[in-house]
Structure 1
Amino acid sequence: MSFQLERGLFLLDFVDHHAILGVPIDADIQTIRKRYLKVARKLHPDSSAVENEADKKLASEFLSKLVNPAWEKLSQEKDRAEYGIVLNLKGQQATRQGNWELGNLGKEIANASNPEHFYRTSLKGLADKQYEQLDQTLEVTGQISELNMVYLMRKEGQGGFNRAETSRTIYTGSNLPDSSQSSVRPTATSQPQPARPESVADQYYRRAEGYMAKNNYAKAVLELRDALQLEPKNGSCHALLGAVHFKQGQATMAKIHFNKALELDPTNAIALEGKQKLEKTTGTSANSKNSTQKPNAKTNKPDDKAGGGLFGLFGKKK
């Protein structure tokens, strides 16, 4: 038996494993595992409460052809990371494509003032009944995938839905418009252009900053490497990756990424500061024998005391 799911992310030639398991697209491995075990117990012939033979067969099919493959993909860290990259790319594709025929929940999250809350609440409600009535399982899974798709689109930049209520600017004391200009439609010459929507690489960069703040350099490296697979010429990601290597005492790798960042953007502040500190730390070159010297070596203490560097990436005040 083959299952046809033609809704949400499935329409983009993509198997939405999160929808199959009924978990959010950003669920951690513990959440995914807990959900998988719950669904597997419900569907497995030895533990299922289903008595009807036809339903038992259907439950077994769901388990072997949908649920188990989804768990196998999401349970492996490397596979899950690669899958996450493709998932975000599908969100971008859905945004560019636009004009989707959405069900009620899809329309509601598209216009929700708080899409995050709506997404979590609606997904939980659907997941609770996803495998209760097996004849409705594929329909519910499709609804979850549509939620996933529109949620990704909203994260990409209001999801391409041109509605005034979802694109309204919230003015604070720091960004009040010039009273001499129109308050409805600022011109390009009088107002800065709106910031571009956050790209997938930006999201990796932001997460890497968070990991750096917690001194979790290994995860920061993984985030930035994934970002550079998507955007190899992203100077900001190269600069931050150089900073991570610098903090780890990996001077040669730090120099490579600082140089690449400056090649792409000669004004990048992180790369400029990082390269300067790198040269002071290593003496002359990151390729010297002392290239593995830690950034907090004695030769670097005066600079560390002078300041923490941009975003506190280079050293801490004593």
Structure 2
Amino acid sequence: MVHQPRRSRIDRGVGQYGFNDYYAVLGLPITVHMSVVRKRYIAIVKRLHPDVFGFSPHEKELANQYLSKMVNPAYNVLNQERERTEYTAILRLLAKRLIKGKQIVTPKADVAKKLLRSPNTMYYEQAITAIAEKQYDRLERIIDSIALISELNLVYLLTQEGYQHQEVAPLMTPQPETVSVRTSVRAAGSPSPAPSSNADDTAAFRQLLRKGEELVQQKQWSMALKELRAAVQLDDKSSRCHALLGVVYVNQKLAGMAKNSFQRAIQLNPKEPLALEYLASLNGQVPSAAKKPGTSSASPKTEPKKGGFFGWLGK
């Protein structure tokens, strides 16, 4: 039986930490050259086109969902150099946080285990190429193929950041919460870090977040990005921080990255007002703060309040 696609969220590799693995969706290694992205996208579109011979009506609908919910969003990010650069930087930050949190990574696939034991870029690229050849041949196997490639991507990211594999490491399935240094250490039952260390991290995070928000209000987008990315490295569970990152990406014309940040913020806090406001705008909906745009200039009372969400949009 062919199952409905789960957007671009998977439960292995990069996906298990709440991030979309766009490289895995397109069957590409993180090292891929920009010129290959479009060629791969076109090949997938041809394979999933609703008029492909042999597809039943249900399979045509399913193929269309894979295209609209997974393949197209992945292509929109990876085919634009700036968005791809920002997206890849976020994946590298994930790897750094896992290493800092002493996360033990145990891949399920043998090919990923081999890469973890003996890191080799050529082997990594060849392994993904082999999987990608049949990635979209069978609709019911697409998710499994994406998950397998994502495991390889995660291992590659970790080894590139200096992760040291431990042969005797106990089997453990990472949970999203373990991305945080504080929760992962305590959950593992190991000695708790010194209270002063936690306090220092918390204080540093708050300072970075506060500085980042000030820079957003001043429309200093590049400087704000540096502060907020440093903050999210200390605490990936702050919906406010992800929402502010989204605001920065909007103003840097990185719509795909902005959506990712707003969606992550809402995942952490479904009521995060800043993310809800901007995401509605990006999706073409009328945000609550701008339901009557025609009256904004008729009366001072309808003007946006100072510091309002859309007051941060650059002109």
TM-score (structure 2 length as normaliser): 0.49
Q: Which has the larger radius of gyration?
A: 1
TM-score (norm 1): 0.49
Greater relative CO, 1 or 2 (CA 8 Å, sep 6+): 2
